[in-house]
Amino acid sequence: MKLTIIGTGYVGLVTGTCFAEVGHHVICVDNDAAKVKVLQAGGIPIYEPGLEELVKKNVAAGRLRFTASTADGVQNSDVVFIAVPTPPQSDGSVDLSYIEKVAREIAAAMTSYKIVVDKSTVPVKTGEKVTETIKRYCAAKVEFDVISNPEFLREGFAVGDLMKPDRVVIGVGSQRPVAAMQEIYTPFNAPIIITDINSAELIKHAANSFLALKISYINAIATICEAAGANVQEVAQGIGLDERIGRRFLNAGLGFGGSCFPKDLSAFIKISEQVGYDFKLLKEVQRINADQMERFVKKITDTLWVLKDKTLGVLGLAFKQNTDDVRSSPAIDLCHRLLKDGATLRVHDPKAMEKARAILPGVTYVDDMNAVAEGCDALVIATEWDEFKQLDLARAKKGLTHPILFDGRNLFDPAEMEKLDWIYKSVGR
Ligand code: UDX
């Protein structure tokens, strides 16, 4: 099928590339001409494992191309996906101005029937607004269907999540676009759930807030474990093997961040309020998440007492492993907190240092993770990168004034660390 994806961010670029990989002809549109030039020259503006190879392969095969023109994309495809940002606003609601603008641009460019698919995470009833907008701005007065097809990919695992989705959700207002959507997704061999548009939009919010709830739940359990002398990882294993609960998303730590969970939770609370429901449960999820950071900072200050004039080495800046994304990163929040208390920071991240520089000035960026500890009073792990498990502990110990490690992601074994004579503080153990 001929597809266009508008927006080449984490969702749009990976979605377009994976659609091309299964044989569709895909045009990726972005209004940022500089970004389009980078993509046309074979560059990838984001880090996502496996993406670069797939983009190259599909561009070479003639199934994937990039343009800055929405009209080019719309007029040369049957289905147009909207994958533009929906950033949070100060009151917790979502800024839908990019969606509205793209809807107008699609409407202006349409000269024949199109299926317009909303892939961005949007509040329930956005589909109705997009339909109204296209109707109003479509000079050619052609027929169209607006549908909702929420994306569940995780950054850092986006290619895998897209190629092997757990499920595909398609929210429609009529039967007409269903066959085309099934044709697009059949190669992915996943269950396809057809719903109404409002339900599809709610599924995304309900899924993300449930996962955030799971993380806050285990973080609350971690607090109890610390007080009771239990081990949160053993508790997670013990409950996670119950298939009804599941072990995934039960990793205690510094709490959740990223461009989705914090924003989607606030938006869902706001949407619920608008339809007359006070979602106190989700407000508590947010509170536990904020507390988690405070409790971790307290752990550091309880041990080091005064941070002023102390140097800390921080491993991890991305909001999670396998990504260069630092948006709403707990690791960056932690750095800001430590700087505010007067600490000097030496920091390292395998992929996110370039993006971090813009929002985290006044720290020393260290290229080699094993060199971070040099001259520091303590080390802190803030992101769950697998490579941090390979940290040269002997070298770190030599570099530190005292062998102190605050592990915000539970990467090391407390018993082993004790044997190696480290003062080791983790979460819930
Ligand atoms: C999330 C959803 O998982 C995905 O389905 C949706 O499409 C977009 O939002 P993403 O933001 O990429 O994906 O990251 P995710 O892997 O869900 O992690 C979010 C945050 O939770 C990270 O900060 C991570 O460190 C934290 N986390 C995750 C935990 O603290 N513990 C866990 O057990 C899992």
Q: What distance in angstroms lies between residue 133's CA and the mean position of ligand 1's atoms? A: 33
Phi-psi category of 379—alpha, beta or left, where left has phi over 0 and alpha has psi -120 to 50? beta
Q: What distance in angstroms lies between residue 251's CA and the mean position of ligand 1's atoms? A: 11
Which of 15, 149, 168, 211 gets mutated to test ligand 1 (max ligand atoms within 8 A of its CB)?
211
Which of 208, 256, 322 gets mutated to test ligand 1 (max ligand atoms within 8 A of its CB)?
256
Whole-structure pTM value: 0.94
Amino acid at 302: D
b/e map 264-298, b = 16+ CB within 10 Å = bbbbbbbbbeeeeeebeebeebbebbeebbebbbe
Which residues participate in catalysis according to the annotation?
Answer: 260
Q: What distance in angstroms lies between residue 348's CA and the mean position of ligand 1's atoms? A: 21
CA 367 to chain centre: 24
Give yes or no for a contact between 122 and 11, defined as CB atoms under 8 angstroms apart: no
Atom number, ligand 1, closest to the C-alpha of residue 11: 7
Give yes or no for a contact between 36 and 66, defined as CB atoms under 8 angstroms apart: yes
The Cα 323–Cα 168 span in angstroms is 24
Residue reference for tokens 């548009």: 197
Residues with a CB atom less than 6 Å from ligand 1: 151-155, 208, 211, 215, 249-251, 253, 256-258, 260-261, 319-320, 384
The tens place of each residue's pLDDT in the chain, 429 residues long, gives 999 999 999 999 999 999 999 999 999 999 999 999 999 999 999 999 999 999 999 999 999 999 999 999 999 999 999 999 998 888 888 899 999 999 999 999 999 999 999 999 888 889 999 999 999 999 999 999 999 999 999 999 999 999 999 999 999 999 999 999 999 999 999 999 999 999 999 999 999 999 999 999 999 999 999 999 999 999 999 999 999 999 999 999 999 999 899 999 999 999 999 999 999 999 999 999 999 999 999 999 999 999 999 999 999 999 999 999 999 999 999 999 999 999 999 999 999 999 999 999 999 999 999 999 999 999 999 999 999 999 999 999 999 999 999 999 999 999 999 999 999 999 999
| Sequence-separated (6 or more) residues with CB below 8 Å from residue 357 | 365
Q: What distance in angstroms lies between residue 154's CA and the mean position of ligand 1's atoms? A: 7
End-to-end CA distance of the chain: 52
Count the residues in the chain: 429
Residue 56 has which token pair? Answer: 């190259």
Residue reference for tokens 């929002």: 359
How many Cα atoms within 13 Å fall on the side-chain side of residue 178?
A: 12
